[in-house]
Copies of this chain bind each other. A is one copy, B any other.
Amino acid sequence: MIRFVVIGHRATTSGDFKLDDITGGAGRLDVLIRCINSSFFLSHDIRRDVELYLVLQGPPFAPKTIRLVGSELRYLNPDERSTAALIRNALMQKVESEINSTPGIYVSNRSYRDVLSLLSKEGKLIYLNEDGDDIVEFDFPDDPVFVLSDDRDLTEEEEEMLLKYEPDAISLGPISYHADHCITIVNNMLDRTYRLH
């Protein structure tokens, strides 16, 4: 399994937002929506070997984590608006333990700390970082877990929490990219190497 974790530092944790305003009103939820697109979409298929964790840290009910499971997803279209509607649906659920909102989409009250703790047992954490090893030469571990941030960097505390797990660090090139573009590049590299084995 290939896993991506993306932190939405101010992404809304309520379903009470307008589909016309997923950038401002929903705390840059648009960034996370685009990460859904780049995690799962192939030309005429969905990547069934991917799981995506969106960690929402905005008001009013933070933290919440939305988990998308490629092998179970339905009703997912590539445009931002329809994907935002699925996420809104998830955020409208009352959550105690993790629950399923629509096929392949789950919502819980997990925090970033909870997600790291959970996934460190499932695979090897990988930090995308300009000082890391070049992805072109990187030998992917089994069950890689890529940790990314939205349009803001990880806070010092978040970075410290991640470094405790001694993650691998990889670089995607000489320039800094949007999170969804990072996921596209990582998926392409996995197609060339990891997924061929």
| Residues in chain A within 8 A of chain B (CB atoms) | 19-20, 22-23, 30-31, 34, 37-38, 41-44, 77-82, 136, 151, 172-178, 181, 184-185, 188, 191-192, 196
Residues of B within 8 A of A37 (CB): 34
Tell me, rounded to whole Å, the shortest Cβ–Cβ distance linking A151 to chain B: 8
**Bound CA span A20–B18, Å:** 12
The complex is assembled from copies of this chain, and their number is 2
**What's the Cα separation between A38 and B181 when bound, in Å?**
7
Pick the contact of A42: B34, B43, B82, B177 (CB < 8 A): B177
What residues on B are CB-neighbors of A20 within 8 Å? 19-20, 81
B181 with A41: CB separation less than 8 A: yes
Q: Which of A31, A34, A79, A192 has the most CB of B within 10 A?
A: A79
A184-B184, A188-B172, A188-B173 in contact; A41/B81 too (CB < 8 A)? no
A35 to chain B, nearest CB (A): 12
Q: Report yes or no: B43 in contact with A176, Cβ–Cβ below 8 A.
A: yes
Nearest-neighbour CB distance to chain B for A129, whole angstroms, equals: 13
